[in-house]
């Protein structure tokens, strides 16, 4: 007796599986029985006039001897016809049986960068369905509504890259919408620039900034009314320093202004303060090194041409910098030195330009 019973169970299981497969393709596959006093949401379909609207729900109200009310549902258990309660009864006049279509509206296009984390998302479907938002990066699924054909709400998205799927599903039918975008709400921060206000510029300009998603760094420089610009290459993300070296020969001896513009991938822009500097991109000229030796010391005269002289230093074999003089008198810098080896003179101007020459002892 156990074998026939087992075969009967298998047959029933196969029939149930086949029926479920058919029902998944068809909205209208079963009826839910409501007993007296039981209720369903206000959006239903039924030919029964016993389903009465009470407090936003359709309630089954039976007379004595009546068994139940019938409500049509789909394969997911949702009500398969979507009709509104009127003033007295659940009105079955509107039945939607067409295919599922999904339309999603973001405030930007796929692949864009945005400067806000909160913005409206509008979703329309041709049939009431379950609508989910899926974060494809971490696999998190957020239900937006369990049974609706319209959704519009302000949603919050993560800082950085977002890869999103909107999914609509009903009665085994699924529609999806894919979009990716980048959220960058933080503006770049400029920490400092060089050279500083009223200093000399030798052609090297630098900016220290902080930005996680750098797009571009641009330098603007020149005289008032005649400003040029140049893009800096290979500026990196993070807390970084980026610099450029320019030929300022045409601006030599002039006061110029400069500033930096830093832009991130969401087109957030920050400008540095405008800085005035004096251009000196030319090296000092060592005209001659004259000396006399008295047997103990070298009496040395450096003849230098430099309008913005800062100092003259020298180096011996130790590599340590030693001051020779910090001013010129009619282009001459003089000092007595006791030397036992050759040295190298370095003349430095106020812009940082320098020229070197070796001095050999006898």
CATH of the domain at 328: 2.60.40.1930
226: in domain: yes
Q: Among 41, 138, 110, 119, which Cα is nearest to 81's?
A: 41
Domain boundary among 149, 183, 217: 183
Give Cβ neighbours of residue 78 (< 8 Å, ≥ 6 apart): 128, 130, 147, 170, 171
For residue 21, is pLDDT > 70? no
* Residue pair 260/207 in contact by the 8 Å Cβ criterion: yes
Higher-confidence residue of 22 and 220: namely 220
Separation of alpha carbons 117 and 327, rounded Å: 60
The confidence score (pLDDT) of residue 5 equals: 40
Question: What average pLDDT does the chain have?
Answer: 82
* Domain housing 259: 189-279
For residue 247, is pLDDT > 90? yes
For residue 26, is pLDDT > 90? no
Domain boundary among 234, 250, 279: 279
88: in domain: no
pLDDT per residue over 262-285, tens digit each? 999 889 999 999 999 999 988 999
The tally of domains found in the chain comes to 4
What is the dihedral angle through the alpha carbons of 149, 154, 158, 164, rounded to the nearest 10 degrees? 20
pLDDT per residue over 54-78, tens digit each? 665 667 777 776 666 766 555 444 5
CATH of the domain at 174: 2.60.40.10
pLDDT per residue over 282-329, tens digit each? 899 999 999 999 888 999 999 999 989 999 999 998 999 999 999 999
For residue 51, is pLDDT > 80? no
Higher-confidence residue of 73 and 151: namely 151
Domain boundary among 222, 247, 279: 279
Q: Compute the average pLDDT of residues 38-49.
A: 52
**Is the domain of 350 the same as that of 320?**
yes
324: in domain: yes
């Amino acid at each position: 007796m156990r074998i026939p019973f087992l075969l009967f169970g298998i047959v029933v299981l196969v029939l149930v599986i086949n029926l479920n497969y058919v029902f998944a393709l068809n909205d209208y596959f079963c009826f839910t029985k409501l007993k007296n006093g039981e209720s369903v949401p206000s959006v239903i379909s039924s030919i029964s006039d016993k389903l009465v609207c009470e407090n936003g729900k359709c309630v089954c109200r039976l007379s004595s001897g009546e068994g139940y009310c019938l409500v049509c549902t789909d394969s997911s258990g949702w009500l398969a016809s979507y009709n509104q309660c009127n003033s007295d009864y659940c009105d079955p006049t509107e039945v939607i049986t067409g295919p599922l279509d999904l339309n999603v509206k973001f405030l930007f296009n796929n692949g864009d960068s945005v400067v806000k984390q909160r913005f409206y998302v509008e979703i329309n479907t041709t049939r009431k369905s379950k609508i989910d938002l899926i974060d494809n990066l971490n696999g998190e699924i957020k239900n937006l509504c369990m049974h609706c054909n319209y959704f519009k709400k302000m949603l919050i998205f993560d800082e950085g890259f977002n890869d999103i799927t909107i999914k609509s599903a009903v009665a085994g039918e699924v529609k999806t919408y894919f979009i990716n975008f980048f959220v960058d709400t933080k503006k770049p921060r400029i920490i400092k620039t060089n050279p500083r206000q009223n200093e000399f510029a030798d052609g090297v300009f630098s900016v220290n900034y902080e930005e996680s998603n750098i797009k571009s760094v641009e330098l603007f420089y020149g005289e008032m009314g005649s400003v040029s610009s140049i893009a800096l290459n290979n500026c990196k993300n993070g807390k970084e320093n980026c610099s450029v070296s320019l030929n300022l020969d045409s601006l030599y001896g002039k006061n110029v202004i400069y500033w930096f513009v830093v832009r991130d991938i969401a087109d957030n822009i920050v400008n540095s303060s405008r800085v005035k500097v004096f251009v000196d991109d030319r090296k000092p000229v060592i005209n001659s090194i004259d000396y006399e030796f008295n047997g103990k010391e070298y009496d040395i005269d450096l003849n230098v041409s430099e309008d913005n002289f800062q100092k003259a230093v020298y180096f011996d074999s130790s590599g340590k910098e030693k001051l020779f003089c910090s001013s010129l008198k009619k282009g001459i810098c003089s000092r007595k030195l006791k030397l036992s080896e050759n040295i190298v003179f370095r003349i430095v101007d106020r812009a940082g330009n320098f020229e070197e020459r070796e001095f050999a002892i006898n």
